[in-house]
Amino acid sequence: NLIYHGYLDCSPVYPTVAFSLRTLAVFRQACRACPHFSIHMQCKMLCHLHNMLYRPYLFQQLTQAFDMYLDIVHRVSQKIQVALHCDTREWRLQNECSACFYCVNDEPTLTFDWLVSVDGNNSLKQWDPTVYGTTPHADHRTPRSTYWLSNKEVDKFKYEVKARQGTHTDISAEIYDDDWSTEVPDVPKEFNCVDRWHNTKADVRKKTLNVFEESGIFIATCWHCFILLACDMMKSGELAKYPLSMINCLVAAYGPNGACAYDIGCAFAKTASTSSIGPRIWALGLCFMVGAFHGHAHNRLCQLGWHPMYIEGTGNTEGEGCEHVFSAFNELAQSTRHATWFHRRQAIEEHIAFWNQDKYEVLTRFIRNHYREAMDSVRRLSSELTFLKAALNLSDEDFPRFIAEERSYLNSLKQQPVQDMQKVCYVQGANAALSSVVEGDFTTMAAALNQAHVWVELAYTKLQNMEALAAHIQGQLSLESPWKVGGEEYAHYREEAMLGKYCKALGELEQLVVMCLFELSKLAMSGYKLCQQISKGLQQRSEAIWKVITWYNVQAGRLDPPCSPILWKDIAQYSFLGEFDLLQHVHDDVRERMWAKLAVHEAMTKFFKLCRAKEEITRLNVEIRRLRTAIHDEEQEVSQTIANLCHSDPLLALEFECRHQPHTVANAVHIHHLDHLENQYGLP
């Protein structure tokens, strides 16, 4: 009879301790406002209020009572959803965000009907209880919400992607705590943004500490930051199966003409195309892109193809919705790190539900702010671009052509012909064979006679290896006799080899400098925690830049004529391709191209930002109409459902009416904001 008096007991028979429903409800809302507020803290707080000493068994009793309370809340919610015919995952996905997915008749055609972003985060790790030598507690309770993808749904794509060969031999020791790699190899390879991201490496290399059962969480969000789906990353990093399973579920719910942002969207597009869902997603016209923030860490060629600013129809989409979610998930990590599997899932479910409720309450504020920013951008950029076009004698048709020319130029530098590459390797192998015995070996032998036989054997082994490599390449090139040192062909390809190393050093240096300056610009407008993360990244980037400067100066000194070395203080002025005076020593002086000039580049950036701002206004007009229609339809459906429940289940109707009251208030605020927007801007 305790429940009739507003109390919930902790034992089915002979209860001695009970908790009021109001206390449990207050704790639930406290977790909503402060996610790191744990049930341990709540239990100790209650003990202090009742002048009791804290005992561990009280924590267990409170946990049991809170689990029962949430189970009751969930069962009531289930009954309400059944009455509304909205108890499936498909219905929830199609109605999670009205502005994104509630399509109406006769709305303007958009390039992308829906926009989502996917990403993984490792803050919500969970310790493996077997690490402490204990047997995990058997708990067969399952997640209550439809946000989770099951392990079966995820593992369906476990063997979809063939492992790419890694460069390290000991892959089991690699632990990835950050997406970005700042390591500068001693022998540089071709600069590629894919090689710079840990989550693009071979799946077998994405290992994490064995002390964690769940190593993080992978989610999908819409443009307005509503969480759509989630799944656990089990003892691994961001394997390809996680985004593949997400995309499979999203395209099934939303259909054609979608776009998905991922921090490695450039590489994942290839992965998805070779998977079992590849033909399906391309038939539906799914477009991949990289997020605006992560995009600046990709090389320039990648940005031209995958950055949202250069993709028609994206508007002012940043594609970083997951990052906003993860900033809040970080606060939940402390209270879930050592929780059981079920309680961790339960806490995350509650956090997701509250997050989406909070996002709905500020949805029209999001639309209003973006509408205001887009209108201001159109006015400002139109004026600035008109002045620049007149000063540079350009037209709107020139800017897409410049982008195409820049992309074509960068593609032409991407890789040398195979025959030329073999000849360059042949020269490098021959040089290595000539120098393997000379450089330092005999000096060391003279200084340490007792180790002479070791150094001689090492030098001879290196000589044999280099000679074998040179002979192998000589056979591939079908050369009758080896090239002579100082000969015409030898000299030509020796210069090509040195120039290739120089261009690699230049590309690496430019990428690190541009990324560093971008992060510096973000530092002044970020919160404390993000500033700490950026500062840490800047410190790592600085160390990497120092290494690349040394490497660049070595390669620049080997050119004929040699390039002037650069110092750390010179780096601050390099922020754009056209400002890199170092490029003048390349055979094709890119600075003479129109698109490489600073003024033209600024005009190009303003042009594409203006295009995206106009698209943003079009999309927001569509979203405003969708939201109005969804609110109208929802209020009618809820009123009808409550009326029906009053006859079949009056208590459930009363509970439904109480629960829907905050939603009704939020809808009234939305209508007020939408009316204000219409009066201010005269919306169609």
Of 328-337, 479-488, 593-602, 638-647, the range with the lowest mean pLDDT is 479-488
378-420 tens-digit pLDDT: 999 999 999 999 999 999 999 999 999 888 877 776 555 444 5
The structure tokens listed for 287 are 């477009």
Same domain for 66 and 125? Answer: no
Do 190 and 269 share a structural domain? yes
Render pLDDT for 73-107 as a digit per residue (tens, 0 to 9): 999 999 999 999 998 999 999 999 999 999 998 88
* Alpha-carbon distances, residue 506 vs 182, 188, 566, 580 (angstroms): 16, 11, 11, 9
Same domain, 40 and 146: no
pLDDT band at 555 (very low <50, low <70, confident <90, very high): confident
631 belongs to a structural domain: no
Helix 363-392 × helix 341-361 angle, to 10°: 70
Q: Which residue has the tokens 């820049």?
A: 406
The arithmetic mean of pLDDT across residues 633-655, rounded, is: 94
Using one digit for the tens of pLDDT, what is the confidence trace for 219-237?
999 999 999 999 999 888 8
Residue 444 has pLDDT above 90, yes or no: no
pLDDT for the residue numbered 631: 96
Region class of 273: left (phi > 0), else alpha (psi between -120 and 50), else beta: alpha
Structural domain that includes position 39: 2-87
Distance CA 36, CA 332 (A): 5
State whether 262 and 114 are in the same domain.
yes
HSE (CB half, 13 Å, CA atoms) of 323?
15
Same domain, 60 and 116: no
Does a structural domain hold residue 169?
yes
Tell me the C-alpha distance between 367 and 224, whole Å: 9
412 assigned to some structural domain: no
pLDDT of residue 72 exceeding 80: yes
Q: What is the gyration radius of the CA atoms in the chain, in angstroms?
A: 31
The verdict on 54 and 127 lying in the same domain is no
State the Cα–Cα distance between residues 368 and 370, nearest whole angstrom.
6
Q: Does residue 293 lie in a domain region?
A: yes
Q: What pLDDT is stored for residue 339 in this prediction?
A: 83
Burial group, residue 148, by CB count within 10 angstroms (0-12, 13-18, 19+):
buried
Exposed, middle or buried: residue 567 (CB in 10 Å: 0-12, 13-18, 19+)? exposed
Q: Output the furthest CA–CA distance in the chain (Å, rounded).
A: 102
Both 319 and 430 in one domain: the answer is no
pLDDT tens profile 280-327 = 999 999 999 998 877 767 777 888 889 999 999 999 988 888 989 998
C-alpha–C-alpha distance, residues 423 and 432, integer Å: 14
Residues 355 and 502 in one domain: no
Q: Kindly report the backbone phi and psi dihedral angles of residue 526, in degrees, each rounded to the nearest multiple of 5, phi listed first.
A: -120, 160
Top mean-pLDDT range of 4-13, 176-185, 622-631: 622-631
Domain presence at residue 204 = yes
For residue 584, the model assigns a pLDDT of 46
> What was the pLDDT predicted at 412?
73
Residue type, 543: E
* pLDDT reported for residue 211: 72
- Residue 296 in domain: yes
Task: State pLDDT tens for residues 557-572.
Answer: 777 777 777 776 666 5
Q: Which of 56-65, 315-324, 410-419, 489-498 has the lowest mean pLDDT?
A: 410-419
Please give the structure tokens belonging to residue 13: 């028979």
Cα angle: 349, vertex 350, 354; to 5 degrees: 120
Same domain, residue pair 515 and 467: yes
Whole-number Å distance between alpha carbons of 108 and 110? 6
Alpha-carbon torsion angle 300, 305, 311, 314, nearest 10: -80
Q: Single out the residue in 562, 578, 599 at which a domain terminates.
A: 599
Q: In this structure, what DSSP letter does residue 1 have?
A: -
Place of tokens 């290494």: 547
CA distance 273 to 367: 34
Top pLDDT among 581 and 314 is at 314
Positive/negative CA dihedral, 174, 176, 179, 182: negative
Domain shared by 126 and 251, yes or no: yes
Residue 197, pLDDT score:
54
Last residue of a domain, one of 54, 87, 120: 87
Same domain, 468 and 543: yes
Q: Is the dihedral of CA 574, 575, 581, 582 positive or negative?
A: positive
Number of domains within the chain: 3
With contact defined as beta carbons under 8 Å apart, do 126 and 337 qualify? yes
- Residue finishing a domain among 571, 599, 627: 599
- pLDDT bracket for residue 681 (50, 70, 90): confident
- Residue 351 buriedness (CB in 10 A; 0-12 / 13-18 / 19+): buried
The first and second tokens of residue 316, run together, are 């002012």
Dihedral angle computed from the Cα positions of residues 428, 434, 439 and 443, in that order, rounded to the nearest 10 degrees: 170
Residue-averaged pLDDT of the chain = 79
